Structure 1
C-alpha cells in the first residue's frame, strides 16, 4: 500500500484505525492484539490497518509518525485521534466512544 492508496482507503471508509509498529518493538507486539480486541469489540465499524514503519517509511513520514507504537484514528476521512508511545487502552476507548456512537448509531 502506498500513500495514495491509503488516502483513498481512508476516504472511502467512515472509520479507519492505523496502527504503526516497528520490527524490534516489544511494546508494539504486546499492544497490537489488545488494540485489535478493543476495536473489534467496541468499535466494529472501524477498519483496521497495520503498518510496519520500516517497510512503509513514506507513509509514516507523510502522516507524521516518528515513534512506535502510534495509533491514528480517522472518522469521516479526517484525523480524529492520535495516540503514541504510552497508550492507555481504557483512555483510548473512552476518547473514541462518544464520537463513534454519534457517527455510527
Structure 2
C-alpha cells in the first residue's frame, strides 16, 4: 500500500486524503461533504479515503491521531492538514489554494 499511496500523492494533481474509520460518527458526517466537493471540483482534485484501522502505518506516518483528518497533498508535499469535521466552505477554500 505504501508504494501505491506515495505514487498517488506525488502527482501534480491535488489529492485530498480522508483518514477515517467506519465506526467514527464525525467521519460519517464528513462523507457527504467530501462527496459533494469531489463532484463539484471534478478532475481538479482527487479524493481518496484511507481507513485508519486497515492502514495504521500510513496514518502513523502522517501523524493522524484523531479522525477524521484531511490532508491535501500535491507533488508529494502536504499543502493543508486539518483534524475534525470541516465545513464545505473551509474545504473548498483550502482546495482552491492548491
Shorter-chain TM range is: 0.7 to 0.9
Q: Deviations over 1:45-90 (max 9, x none)?
A: 2112111100100110011111100111112321111111132221
Is the radius of gyration larger for structure 1 or structure 2? 1
Q: What is the TM-score with the length of structure 2 in the denominator?
A: 0.86
TM superposition outliers: structure 1 runs of 4+ over 6 Å: none
Kindly tell me the number of residue pairs found equivalent between the two proteins. Answer: 98
Q: What is the TM-score when the length of structure 1 is the normalising length? A: 0.81
Residue 28 of structure 1: CA displacement? 0.6
Is 1:66 the counterpart of 2:65 in the alignment? yes
**Secondary structure of 1:64 counterpart:** coil
Structure 1 runs not aligned, ≥5 long: 101-105
- Given that 2:29 and 2:85 are in contact with CA atoms closer than 8 Å, whether structure 1 keeps it comes out as no
